[in-house]
Amino acid sequence: MTRHVVIGISGASGAALGLRILERLGSINGVQRHLVITATGEKTLRYEVGDSALAQAWDLAEARYNIEEVGSRIASGSFRTAGMIVAPCSMRTLSAIAHGMSDNLLTRAADVHLKERRRLVLLTRETPLHLGHIRSMLQATQMGAIVAPPVPAFYLRPATVEDIVDALAARAIDLLDLGTSAQSVAWDGL
């Protein structure tokens, strides 16, 4: 059985998170990746990860969508998915999702996940936060989204930035509850 997962990459810092999520999802049998990237997400991928990162992201997905394709299948509730992850999720994207402003395919796909009561994981990236950010996080949570700022699990004792990115990507995938073995390392206690 194929499980469809939508991955959105918006223009916040942390573009490597979206890329690593795509890679990890590719190792799960039966998962088909559907990718949409905002224009600023494309720029951030190139700047933070390298000139080949955008092409690499597109190559990792089985289905790719232009941000303006609001009539594509991921924009409809009739297209069943196992969930959606927006990584990174900019405050602009969070605000649009929280307030139902489906002005591009990424925010429309997120809106569909909320209205269909499907898992929507938002790896929100900003610090410090002002009251508008916090209110948008609250609003999105009340609507059913899982707001998961990418905060490192230092108890895992990461040695590299790659260790941190990998752990955060694994945790985001676990939040989809795909019915597979856990991607992330579980806390074993003291």
Cβ atoms 172, 17 nearer than 8 A? yes
Classify residue 181: in a domain, yes or no: no
Classify residue 164: in a domain, yes or no: yes
Could you give the CA distance from residue 73 to residue 65 in angstroms, rounded to a whole number? 10
Q: Which domain holds residue 140?
A: 3-175
Classify residue 180: in a domain, yes or no: no
Question: In the prediction, which pLDDT does 86 show?
Answer: 99
Classify residue 13: in a domain, yes or no: yes
Classify residue 86: in a domain, yes or no: yes
Question: In the prediction, which pLDDT does 131 show?
Answer: 98
pTM above 0.95, yes or no: yes
Classify residue 55: in a domain, yes or no: yes
Query: Residue written as tokens 């009739």?
Result: 78
Classify residue 189: in a domain, yes or no: no
Q: Check which CATH number belongs to the domain holding 101 and give it.
A: 3.40.50.1950
- Ranges of residues in the chain with a pLDDT under 70 are none
pLDDT in tens, 159-182: 999 999 999 999 999 999 998 877
Question: In the prediction, which pLDDT does 190 show?
Answer: 80
**What is the tally of structural domains in the chain?**
1
Question: In the prediction, which pLDDT does 112 show?
Answer: 98
Question: In the prediction, which pLDDT does 82 show?
Answer: 98
Quick one: tokens of 37?
């990237």
